[in-house]
Amino acid sequence: MIWDERNVRHEHLLNVAKQMMTAARTAPKGKGVDIIETVTVTEKEIELLSKEMKSMYAKNGLKFFLRDADNILSAEAIVLIGTREQSQGLNCGHCGYPTCISRAEGVPCALNSIDVGIAVGSACAMAADLRVDTRVMFSAGLAAQQLQWLPNCKMVMAIPLSASSKNPFFDRKPKEEKK
């Protein structure tokens, strides 16, 4: 049997995405409390995510949403990693408030933010170990959050995946608005 890499690349990328989700799950968590959620989207969901990002650009005017919306169409899969909001009850003040109970509505627990960052780092390290190109995109993560693909998650990051001759997620030119 002869396997041409071009014929097995997509299957390989999906397996890498699964391993990245596992890496995110097994990443260290503050106080050992696991509030990380992770999914992978492909095909039509990537197109839907791109459309949501373009809609967000129309509302916020931030050009990188438009650039990233086109850029994710080069991905074969996108790993989404988010965290549910849950105070860890340490009264550490890292969020800017002296106690957890005094924290204002909508201000995330700093440990939740740190946990999602560590999970993203672990997932990207796994992709790098397996020689798959990635880029962390908070723009696509925010769009996924608005689409509620990770229910109850307050902070979502997106990691598009590619296995091509050149990483399509770097050396990107700013997107100009079409007139």
CATH number at residue 147: 3.40.109.10
- When divided into structural domains, the chain yields a total of 1
Tell me if 129 is assigned to some domain: yes
Examine the pLDDT at 98 and tell me if it is beyond 90.
yes
Of residues 80 and 106, more confidence is placed in 80
Examine the pLDDT at 76 and tell me if it is beyond 70.
yes
Distance of alpha carbon 109 from alpha carbon 114, whole angstroms:
9
What is the value of pTM for the model shown?
0.91
Say what the pLDDT of residue 176 is. 63
Examine the pLDDT at 172 and tell me if it is beyond 70.
no
Tell me if 20 is assigned to some domain: yes
Tell me if 171 is assigned to some domain: no
Tell me if 174 is assigned to some domain: no
* Residues 161 and 72: beta-carbon distance below 8 Å: no
Say what the pLDDT of residue 74 is. 95
Structural domain that includes position 37:
16-162
Say what the pLDDT of residue 12 is. 95
- Three-state DSSP class for residue 149: coil
Tell me if 79 is assigned to some domain: yes
Distances (CA, A) of 69 to 58, 65, 89, 138: 12, 6, 38, 12
Tell me if 135 is assigned to some domain: yes
